[in-house]
Amino acid sequence: MTQAAIIDGKAFAARLRQTIAAEVAALKAEHGLTPGLAVVLVGEDPASQVYVRSKGEQTLEAGMHSETHRLPAETSQAELLALVERLNSDPAVHGVLVQFPVPDHISQAAVVAAISPDKDVDGLTVANAGRLASGLPALTPCTPTGCMMLLRDQLGELSGKRAVVIGRSNLMGKPMAQLLLAADCTVTIAHSRTKDLPAVVREADIVVAAVGRPQMVKADWVKPGAVVIDVGINRIPKDDGQENGGKTRLVGDVAFDEVKAVASAITPVPGGVGPMTIACLLANTVLAAKRLNGIGE
Ligand code: NAP
């Protein structure tokens, strides 16, 4: 039985970070411009702390300016919005990212709305979502942007492909579908109310699973030869069903072991889509810095 090519997102992201570092060096040398990313963390969520630390480290490794603002969990919404406002007008900062989730007393929507669309390197503002949907230059959400890079690398031309995106979140499913549409794919967005999801997925040349349900997409859902991009990050017990001292492992939304016997290419979890997210955050920050300084793309 033929096996799918395993798409190495970790290696791809490492190459992308090298390209970004070279571009940052050129921007410094030719324009005296150092792209800068400000990350704001409210509270002490352990997973968020790990993400924020990685973002800071990788920003510095690329030769960029990095600042991390750690605020206590009891910070008021007004205080957080005032910091965002200050970062919006700081010329050393070209990207502003507030790590989600924020504590319950703060409105995530209000935080997103406060970020200047020109510095919205997470691509979450209504302005950037609208620009993407309208075919205008936008800052696009990092994970879907990374998925597109992997797909282009794997398939080359995407025009005319049938794509099914499972999931319709503002962060992932919707922008993914818009990016595929902009690349001239024929796109279906599936969600929890979709009828006969396996039949819908079986039509796809490209499957993007962004659901948050461990190993949901099975081999008999996938058209032979399809390319499968697994965005899901799910933690399950290490030895399913057995006593294991609470040990867990990461799996995606796709039943990897069986689907890799049907697909032509597939991203693993971990090591597929995940590493692309921060690399695309750096790329968005460089793009924002260039646009804010009138430097051509
Ligand atoms: P989300 O906001 O919870 O959205 C999940 C989507 O899946 C919803 O649109 C939901 O449909 C749909 N869904 C739920 N159950 C379904 C089912 N049984 N059949 C079909 N669709 C179903 O999650 P998200 O933020 O988009 O993230 C999705 C996954 O990607 C998560 O595992 C997350 O951890 C991961 N993720 C990874 C990265 C990364 O690699 N860096 C980044 C972002 C997200 P309804 O809208 O109908 O409820």
Q: Tell me, using a 6 A CB cutoff, whether residue 158 lines ligand 1.
A: no
Are residues 53 and 166 located together in one domain of the fold? no
**Same domain, residue pair 104 and 203:** no
Residues 146 and 266 both lie in one domain: yes
288 domain residue, yes or no: no
Clarify whether residues 258 and 214 are in a common domain.
yes
- State the Cα–Cα distance between residues 160 and 158, nearest whole angstrom: 6
Tell which atom from ligand 1 comes closest to the C-alpha of 212. 32
Q: How many domains does the chain have?
A: 2
For the question of residue 55 being annotated catalytic, the response is: yes
Q: What is the CATH number of the domain that holds 257?
A: 3.40.50.720
Residue 287 lies in a domain: no
Helix-then-strand count for the chain, H and E: 10, 11
- Claim to verify: residue 164 and residue 248 sit in the same structural domain: yes
Same domain, 268 and 177: yes
My answer on whether 151 and 243 are in the same domain is: yes
**Domain check: are 167 and 91 in the same one?**
no
Through-space distance between the first and last CA atoms of the chain, rounded to whole angstroms: 45
Is any atom of ligand 1 closer than 6 Å to the C-beta of 202? Answer: no
User: What residue type is assigned to position 288 of the chain?
Assistant: A
**99 an active-site residue?**
yes
- The vertex-291 CA angle with 290 and 292, nearest 5°, equals 95
Statement to judge: residues 161 and 244 lie in one domain:
yes
251 ligand 1 Cβ < 6 A: no
210 lines ligand 1 (CB under 6 A): yes
Domain of 161, in residue numbers: 142-276
193 lines ligand 1 (CB under 6 A): yes
DSSP readout, 274-292?
HHHHHHHHHHHHHHHHHHH
The catalytically annotated residue of 119, 120, 122, 215 is: 122
Instruction: Reply yes or no on whether 122 is catalytic.
Output: yes
Q: What is the 3-state secondary structure (H, E, C) of 177-214?
A: HHHHHHCCCEEEEECCCCCCHHHHHCCCCEEEECCCCC
Q: Are residues 158 and 268 in the same domain?
A: yes
The domain spanning residue 89 has which CATH number? 3.40.50.10860
- Report the nearest atom of ligand 1 relative to the CA of 173: 26
Best mutation site among 52, 108, 172, 195 for ligand 1 pocket (most ligand atoms within 8 Å of CB): 172
Q: Do both 151 and 103 map to the same domain? A: no
67 near 36, Cβ under 8 Å?
Answer: yes
Residue 43 lies in a domain: yes
Rounded CA-CA distance 248/227 in Å is 27
Indicate if ligand 1 lies below 6 Å from the C-beta of 280. no
Closest residue by CA, ligand 1 atom 39? 274
Give the pLDDT of the chain (297 residues) as one tens digit per residue.
679 999 999 999 999 999 999 999 999 999 999 999 999 999 999 999 999 999 999 999 999 999 999 999 999 999 999 999 999 999 999 999 999 999 999 999 999 999 999 999 999 999 999 999 999 999 999 999 999 999 999 999 999 999 999 999 999 999 999 999 999 999 999 999 999 999 999 999 999 999 999 999 999 999 999 999 999 999 999 875 555 677 899 999 999 999 999 999 999 999 999 999 999 999 999 999 999 999 986
